[in-house]
Amino acid sequence: MKRSIIYFWICSLVIFHPIVHGQNEASSQISDNLPLLLSMNNDFGFRLYKALSAIPENQSKNIFFSPISVSMALSALSLGAGGETKQQLHQGIGHNSSALSTEEMHKTYQSLLEEINQKTGVDIDVGTAVYLSDTFKSHPEFFEKVKQFYLSEGFSVDFSAQETVEKINAYVKEKTHGKIDNVVQHLTPDMKMILLTYIYFKGKWDMPFDPKMTHESKFHVDPETTVQVQMMHENDEFKVFYDTHLSTKVLALDYNDSFSMFLALPDKSITDLEAAISRQDFEKWKNEVSKRKVHVYVPKLSLKTSYNLKEILKGMGIHEMFTGNADFTRLSAEGLSVSEVLHKAALDVDEEGTTAVAVTMIGVGSAAPNPMNFFRFDRPFLIFIVDHQNSILFMGKIVNPAAK
């Protein structure tokens, strides 16, 4: 029997850039299960990062993606799955049913998304969209649950019409505030569904960098290669930590309303840090950073990444959904399989703030200065964008800031 196709796209956007709003802490009730969900998502993020960094061609490239958007979309898709397909999806994202039931997982996602969207000190928007073929016979329960738990919008479209391409691109462009457009090049009549997730965030640095202090400097891509970058510089009190176990300097740069960027600079090889780091290490950093006066040097960044996650997800144990044995009987009685999972991301960092976009389609010292007084990110480092609840929205590796 010919299988129909689900094009699985996870569209996520995070933009960090200055706005005028002051501090305002949202006060909604968060589920007691939220720490379990965030640990699950963050563990998934580190496993996905290691899978991406293990690809030979990525070892010398910048890596940047949104782990929570990928795991959220896979979780939403699992609402339509059954049997081994559903089991692989849950195991792949790290769901432990003995700690958190399936129903609790979906309800906790709902609480998380509602909490994020109630933030008033920043401009943030998280949600999902499902595009469904107008000739596709589906089970309404799936879409009702995606709407409830993942704040989804639903659209009935003709996948054979060019205007559908334009419609989807316009939707993505609107949700990403113009940062991503033309994400869809073409559609095919046998396509039955497109699933999108998106995250949009607009904030500001708590302590902006002085543009007058920005200067041209060298960034050491590797022992033989250097590139010229625009290096931002401030000498002030910053949240820092030195991880003796990982031999890594950690810098936390705060945004308003309890969002932060963490930068991790290993003393030696970035590959050693990549291999050793875990969610528990990151959680330790969050708890251990403390303010001290240091010189901070951070390169301005502007980069884009793109990944087809199909083979990576297969390697993480999620493979049946791409085959003729896929079980999406809770979505439709028709035979369905996932064609591809695409992820695109972009990051911009300047003196005022940070712009990060992701789309997945499913000190002067003495003669002997104290090295801990200088946090100079002039060689490969890791980067994380998180909220105060330890939810990793974005993560990656900067190998070459000059590579676009």
User: What is the rounded distance in angstroms from the CA atom of residue 113 to the CA atom of residue 103?
Assistant: 16
Neighbouring residues of 36: CB distance < 8 A, sequence distance ≥ 6: 96, 99, 100, 108
Q: Do 145 and 161 sit in the same domain of this protein? A: yes
Q: What does the pLDDT read at residue 181?
A: 74
Does the structure show a pLDDT above 60 at 356? no
Q: Are residues 143 and 278 in the same domain?
A: no
Tell whether 246 and 332 lie within a shared domain: no
Return the CATH number at 266.
2.30.39.10
Give domain status of residue 76, yes or no: yes
Q: How far apart are CA 362 and CA 129, in angstroms?
A: 11
What is the pLDDT averaged over residues 206-227?
92
pLDDT tens digits along 75-96: 999 999 999 999 999 999 999 9
316 with 226, same domain: the answer is no
pLDDT at 108: 94
- The one-character DSSP state at 110 is H
- Residue 49 pLDDT: 96
Are 67 and 73 in contact, with CB atoms under 8 Å apart? no
Please report the DSSP string for 205-253 in residue order.
BSS---GGG-EEEEEEEETTEEEEEEEEEEEEEEEEEEETTTTEEEEEE
What confidence score (pLDDT) does residue 12 get? 45
pLDDT at residue number 368:
32
Question: Higher-confidence residue: 122 or 265?
Answer: 265
- The DSSP result for 144-211, as a single string, is HHHHHHH-EEEEEE-TTSHHHHHHHHHHHHHHTTTSS--------TTEEEEEEEEEEEE--BSS---G
Do 220 and 188 reside in the same domain of the chain? no
Which of 7, 10, 323 has the alpha carbon at shortest distance from 190? 7
356 is a domain residue: no
Q: In terms of domains, do 68 and 98 share one?
A: yes
At 300 the pLDDT is: 92
DSSP tag of 368: S
Q: Which range marks the domain in which residue 38 is found?
A: 4-204+303-347
Q: Tell me, yes or no, whether 366 lies in a domain.
A: no
303-341 pLDDT, tens digit per residue, is 888 888 999 999 999 999 998 899 999 998 888 888 888
Q: How many domains does the chain have?
A: 2
- Average pLDDT estimate for 375-388: 93
When pLDDT is averaged across residues 168-173 and rounded to a whole number, the result is 88
pLDDT of residue 118: 79
Q: What is the mean pLDDT of the segment spanning 390-400?
A: 92
Q: Do 152 and 52 have their domain in common?
A: yes
Question: Residues 311, 391: one domain?
Answer: no
pLDDT band at 120 (very low <50, low <70, confident <90, very high): low
CB 257 within 8 A of CB 23: yes
Mean pLDDT in residue range 132-144 = 90
* 106 domain residue, yes or no: yes
CA dihedral 155→160→161→164, nearest 10 degrees, is 30
Bridge partners of 272, per DSSP, are: none
* Torsional class of 247: left (φ above 0), alpha (ψ -120 to 50), beta (otherwise): left
> CA 20, CA 1: separation in Å to the nearest integer?
57
Residue 327, pLDDT score: 93
Instruction: Specify whether the CB–CB gap between 28 and 362 falls below 8 A.
Output: no
Residue 360 lies in a domain: no
pTM attached to this predicted model: 0.88
Instruction: Looking at the structure, tell me whether residues 24 and 89 fall in a common domain.
Output: yes
User: pLDDT tens digits, residue range 100-110?
Assistant: 999 999 999 99
